[in-house]
Amino acid sequence: MSEFSAWKTRAVVKLMQIKKKYAGTELGGEIDKLIARLKRLRARDLHSFLAAVSALSERAPEVLEIAPTEEEVERWLRARGERGG
DSSP result, 3-54: HHHHHHHHHHHHHHHHHHHTTTSHHHHHHHHHHHHHHH--GGGHHHHHHHHH
- Look at the chain and report how many structural domains it folds into: 1
Please, which pLDDT band fits residue 2 given cuts at 50, 70 and 90? confident
Does 1 or 59 have the greater pLDDT score?
59
Domain span including residue 56: 3-83
- pLDDT value at 43 more than 60: yes
The DSSP letter of residue 64 is G
Q: Are the CB atoms for 79 and 41 separated by under 8 Å?
A: no
Q: 32-57 burial, b if ≥16 CB within 10 A, otherwise e?
A: eebbeebeebebeebeebbeebeebe
Compute the mean pLDDT over every residue in the chain, rounded to the nearest whole number.
93
Quote the percentage of the chain above a pLDDT of 70.
94
Q: What is the pLDDT of residues 62-74, one digit of tens each?
A: 999 999 999 999 9
